[in-house]
Structure 1
Amino acid sequence: MSTSPTASKDKKVEEKDKKGDKTDASKKVEEKPVPPTPTAEIKSNIALIERAVGDLEPRFTHRVLRSLTALRKRLDNKIIRDAIEENYPSDSAVKTSLLSWLPAAPPADQSMDVDAAAQPNGPVASTPSPKPTSDPVPEVEIYFRLLLIHHLHASKDNYAKSVELSKETVDKIQQLNRRSMDPIAAKIWFALERSYELGGELADARPMLLAAQRTAALRHDDDTQASLINRLLRSYLHYNLYDQADKLVSKTTFPASASNPQLARYHYYLGRIKAVQLNYSAAHTNLQQAIRRAPPAKVAPGFYQAVHKLFVVVELLMGDIPDRSTFRHPVLQKALQAYFDIVKAVRTGSLSEFQATLNKHASQLEADKMYTLIVRLRQNVIKTGIRRLSLSYSRISLRDICLKLHLDSEEDAEYIVGKAIRDGVIEGRIVHEKGWMECEGRKNGYGPEVSEVFGRRIGYCLELHNQSVKAMRFPLNAHRKELAAAEGAREREKELAKEIQEGDLDDEGLGDF
C-alpha cells in the first residue's frame, strides 16, 4: 500500500512538534535560578547571624563570611543604605551611626521612594516588608561595619576614612566582649590591616595587632589569633623584617583548628622566611602545603600566582627543574613567563644567558621581591654547566671550562669545580700539575640522595593522609543512636527468651523457626 503525500506531511509535522516540545522542556530544565539581589542576600545573612547567636552555632556565621568575597564586589552606597534602613527601625541610634559613614542620598533616590509609596496600586508595586521594631543583635552591626570598610577600600579618597572606621569598630568589639562575635572580629582585623596598608601606614598598626594577638591567645580565640598572626607576618615581611618574623613564629603557636585560607597564608609566609634563611627543603614543604590548602585558582588567582612564583624559585635553588605543566596553567601562564625564561637559562647552564634573562626581567622580579633569591641561582647555573661538561668530556682543561662558562679566571674555575666534586654534583678529580679535570662515569643511578628524595615523598604522603583524616567530619552523637538500637535489640532478645522459658509462645508464634 502506498501512503498519500498529505499523510506523510502530517507525520513530519507531528514529529517536528514533538521535537520542539522536547527542546522546550530541556530549555526549561537548563534555566538557572535567578541569583538574589545584594540587599536580599544581606538580609538572609543577617538572619543566619541571628540564628548563630541564638543557637550558639558559629558555623552559620562562617557561612555568611564565606560569601563576603563575592558580595563586597557588588556593593555600592545605595545597596548598603537600603540594607541598613530595611533591617533597623527608623529611630535607631545604630542606624544613624552606620549611615553617617555613607554620603547623603541624592534627591532622585528620595523622590523615587516617595513615588513608590504614593502609588501602592501601580503595575509593578510590591508589598513592602514590615519595619523592624527593635535593633538586631550587636553582631549585625559589626557585620555592616565590615561591609562598610570593604566598600571604602574601593576608592582611594576613602582610605583615611576606612582607617578611622576600623579603629572605631575594633574599640566597639573590645567593649562588647562577646564570644559569638569572634569569627566576624577576625575579619575586622584583616580589614583594619588592609586599611593601614592602603593608606601607607602599615607599621603604625603593628602595636595594636600585637596587643590584640596576646589577648586572643589568652582567650583561646583561634579565629582571631590565626588572622592576627598572619597580619603580623605580612607586616614584617612587607618591610623585610625577616628576623622579627622568625621570632614571632618561634614564640607563637598557630591554631590547628584555623580555616584552610588562614593555614595557606601561614604556610606561604613560612616558606618565604625559610627560603631567605637558606632552608630550602623546609620552604619547599611549606609551599606545598600552601598550594594544597589554597582556594581554587579562579577564586584567588593572586595568591595562587604568588605561591607558585616562590615555589618555582625554591625548586631551582634546591637543584630541581620545575614541571613544564606548571607554566601551562591558564592562570599561571602569563604571570610566570619571566620565571619560565629563568628556568630555561638555568637548565642550559649558560651563565651569559642567565645574566641576560635576569637583566631583562629585573623590574618584575624586584616588584615580586624575588630578585635577591634568583641572584643566588648563579652558583646553580655554574653547577649545571659543570655537570653538562662532565657528561660530555672525560677530560677538559680548566681554561676551557673558564671560557665555556664565562668565568673570570682559572682560579675561580678550579674553586668551583672542586666544590662541585666535594658536594657530589660530579664525579671526578682535578689534576693540578696539568691543569685539567678528569671526569668519571657514574656507576649507577642510585645512591643516598635517591633514598632521601623517596623519604621526603613518603613523608609528604603520610602527612597528607593524617591531615585528611583529621579534617573528616562526623555527625554529632551518631554513636548514641547505635547504642540505643543495640540496647533495644538486647531488650527484645531478653523478652523473647523469657517468653520461651515461660512457654507462652506456641508453634504459630515462632513463625518460620
Structure 2
Amino acid sequence: MSTEVSKESEKKEEESKIEEDKEKAVEPVVQTVEDEILAHLVMIGRAVSTTEPRFTLRILRTLTTLRKKLTKPVLRFALDQAFPKGSKTGQTLIASSIFQDLPSKDEGESMEVDADATPVSKKYSPPTDGATSDLLPEGVVYLRLLLILANLDAGKSKEAGEFALETTELITQANRRTMDQLASKVYFYLARAYELQGRLTELQPLLLATRQTASLRKDETLEATVLNLLIRSYLAQHQYDQADRLVARVTFPTNVNQAQSVRYMFYLARLRAVQLNYASASTLLNNAIRRAPKDEVAPGFVQILHKYLIVVTLLTGVIPDRTIFRKPVLKQALVPYFQIVQAVRVGDMTAFQKAFSTYESTFNADSTHFLILRLRHFVIKTALRSITLAYSRISLADVCVKLHLDSEEDTEYIVAKAIKDGVIDATIDHAGGYMQSRIAKDVYETDAPQLEFNRRVGTCTQLYNETVRAMRYPPNAHRRELESAADARERDREYAQLVQESEDAGDDLDDL
C-alpha cells in the first residue's frame, strides 16, 4: 500500500511540474518593458484563439503602471519586434507622425539588457493573422492604444485625439468581438483627449451611435463605458435634461467592471443633486465610496466623491461627521469644505461668504459652485434660529445687518418665510419694524401632559380588549369536534367492512 501511494504522489508531482513548465512557456518571465509589451501581444493571441476575454482584461489592468514606462525607444523596439518583416501596417505606424513627434528625451539612454538573457525576438513570437500573415488586429489596436497613452502623457492631446478617432474607425471596420475590451479603452481615451481640448461635445453623436450598436451586440463593457462618457459630457455642458432623459431610457449593464459602475453612481448622484433629490444623491455617493478603489490607488477620485458627499449632506440638513476631514488623503483637499461646514453649523454668514470668496476657484474646478450657493439659505435659517434664542425682540434692520442681507425688505420676506416653514417661533410687527420671539411656555402649564396620558391609557385599554377577544373560543366548538369524531369512526367501520368483503371474494376465486 505504501509503495502505491508513493507512486501516485510521484505521478502527481510530475504532472504538476509539466503544467508549470507549460505555463512558463506560455507566459515567460518579463524582464524589461519591451518584454512586457511583447508578452502582452502573446497573451492577446491566446485570448483570440481561446475566445477568453479574461486574458485581455488582465493586460488592460496593467496599463496604469505600463504607461509610466513608455518612451520613444521602447515603443520603437516593440513596433519593430511585433510586426513581421515587410509589414505595411508596422511601417505605417513607425512612419506616422503620432510616433515620430513623440519627445525623444530618453533617446540617448541605452536600454539595459542582460548579457546572458535570450533576445526578445527569440523569446516572444507575436501572433499573426492567417489570412494576411500580419499581426492580429487586436495586437495592432493594443499598440495603437499605447501610442495614444504616450501622446497623452506628453501633452499632445490633439494628436492623440485624432489618432484615437482613426483607431475607432479601424475597430468598426474589423467588427471582431474579441476586440471589445480594447475598444472600450480606446473610446475612453478618445473622450479624454477631446475633453482636454474642450471639445467633448463634438463626440456626442459618435458616442450615441456607438452605445446603440454596443447594446444591440450585447457588448456590455463598451456600452457602460460610452454611457458614462455621454453622461459626463452632458454634465460638463450643464445639459441636465438630456442626461436625465438618457438615464431614464437606458438600463446600465450589470456585468461590468467595478470602475465603470462606480463612475455611473457618481455621475448619477451629481445629476440627482442638481435635481434637488438630495436623499438619492447621498445614497448613491455612499455606495460609490464603499465600492471605490483604495485611497492610495485613486486619491483624486476618492477626494471628489467625498467633496460631493459633504455638500449633499449639508443640503439635507445634516452636519457631516468630523472624522471625514481627518483622513490623510482627504485632510488637505477638504480644507475649503471644512470652512463651509463650520459656517453652516454655527450660522455665520460672514464666515460663509469669506470661505466662499476665498476658495471660489476651487469650487468652480470641482463643479460644486452652484450647490454651495444653495447652502446660503441653510446658513440664514441657522442664524435666524440663533437670533430668536438670543433676543426676545429685535428690529429687522439689525437682523439685516447680522445676516448681511441686501435690504430690510428682503429681510422681512426671509423672516416671514422662516416663520411659515416652522424654522423659528416668532411674529413680525410690520408697523414697528421688529421681530418678536414667542416665549416658550412650560409644557406642564398646558393640558399637553393630560392629553398624552389619556392617549396612552386608551392604547393600553384597546390592546387589552383585543387580547381578551382573541383568547375566546367560538360557541359550541366542542360539539362540532364530537360530531366529526363520530363520523370518522363510522367511516372506519365502513372501510373495515369493505376490506373484509374483498378478502372473502378473493378466497372464493382461489377455490375456483
2:427 to 423, 430, 439: 430
Write the distance in 1 (CA, Å) between the matches of 2:167 and 2:188: 12
Provide the TM-score with structure 1 as the length reference: 0.71
Provide the TM-score with structure 2 as the length reference: 0.71
Q: Which runs of 5+ in 2 are unaligned?
A: 1-28, 129-133, 444-512
User: What residue number does 1:137 align with?
Assistant: 136
1:124 to 112, 115, 128: 115
Structure 1 segment 185-204 matched on structure 2, within 5 A: 185-204=183-202
Q: Taking every aligned residue pair, what percent have the same amino acid on both sides?
A: 44
> Which entry has the higher C-alpha Rg, 1 or 2?
2
User: What residue number does 2:175 align with?
Assistant: 177
Q: Does 1:49 align with 2:28?
A: no
Write the distance in 1 (CA, Å) between the matches of 2:43 and 2:145: 16
Q: Structure 1's 431 and 207: CA in aligned 2 closer, same or farther, altered over 3 A?
A: closer
User: What residue number does 2:146 align with?
Assistant: 147
Write the distance in 1 (CA, Å) between the matches of 2:441 and 2:42: 73
Write the distance in 1 (CA, Å) between the matches of 2:197 and 2:402: 51
Write the distance in 2 (CA, Å) between the matches of 1:255 and 1:111: 46
Write the distance in 2 (CA, Å) between the matches of 1:441 and 1:170: 74
Cα deviation for residue 409 of structure 1 reads 5.2
SS in 2 for 1:73: helix
Structure 1 segment 16-31 matched on structure 2, within 5 A: none
Cα deviation for residue 94 of structure 1 reads 2.6
**1:396, 1:438 within 8 Å by CA — same for their partners in 2?**
no
Cα deviation for residue 398 of structure 1 reads 4.9
**1:89, 1:132 within 8 Å by CA — same for their partners in 2?**
no
User: What residue number does 2:12 align with?
Assistant: none
**2:419, 2:427 within 8 Å by CA — same for their partners in 1?**
no
2:163 to 162, 165, 175: 165
Give the length in aligned residue pairs.
398
User: What residue number does 1:218 align with?
Assistant: 216
Q: Structure 1's 236 and 397: CA in aligned 2 closer, same or farther, altered over 3 A?
A: same
Write the distance in 2 (CA, Å) between the matches of 1:112 and 1:353: 58
Deviation digits for residues 18-43 of structure 1 (CA, Å, limit 9, x no counterpart):
xxxxxxxxxxxxxxxx9843222223
**1:398, 1:413 within 8 Å by CA — same for their partners in 2?**
no
**1:398, 1:437 within 8 Å by CA — same for their partners in 2?**
no
Q: What is the letter of the counterpart of residue 289 of structure 1? A: N
Cα deviation for residue 412 of structure 1 reads 4.1
Cα deviation for residue 401 of structure 1 reads 4.1
Q: Structure 1's 420 and 149: CA in aligned 2 closer, same or farther, altered over 3 A?
A: same
Write the distance in 1 (CA, Å) between the matches of 2:294 and 2:441: 46
Write the distance in 2 (CA, Å) between the matches of 1:245 and 1:70: 33
Write the distance in 1 (CA, Å) between the matches of 2:442 and 2:414: 20
User: What residue number does 1:66 align with?
Assistant: 61
Q: Root-mean-square deviation (CA), in Å?
A: 2.9
**1:49, 1:140 within 8 Å by CA — same for their partners in 2?**
yes
User: What residue number does 2:204 align with?
Assistant: 206
User: What residue number does 1:375 align with?
Assistant: 373
Write the distance in 2 (CA, Å) between the matches of 1:442 and 1:185: 71
Q: Which runs of 5+ in 1 are unaligned?
A: 1-33, 117-122, 444-513
Write the distance in 1 (CA, Å) between the matches of 2:236 and 2:371: 16
User: What residue number does 2:320 align with?
Assistant: 322
Q: What is the letter of the counterpart of residue 394 of structure 2? A: S
Q: What is the letter of the counterpart of residue 243 of structure 2? A: A
Write the distance in 1 (CA, Å) between the matches of 2:442 and 2:175: 68
**2:214, 2:220 within 8 Å by CA — same for their partners in 1?**
yes
User: What residue number does 1:335 align with?
Assistant: 333
SS in 1 for 2:438: strand
Q: Structure 1's 214 and 323: CA in aligned 2 closer, same or farther, altered over 3 A?
A: same
Q: What is the letter of the counterpart of residue 385 of structure 1? A: A
Cα deviation for residue 389 of structure 1 reads 3.7
Q: What is the letter of the counterpart of residue 333 of structure 1? A: K
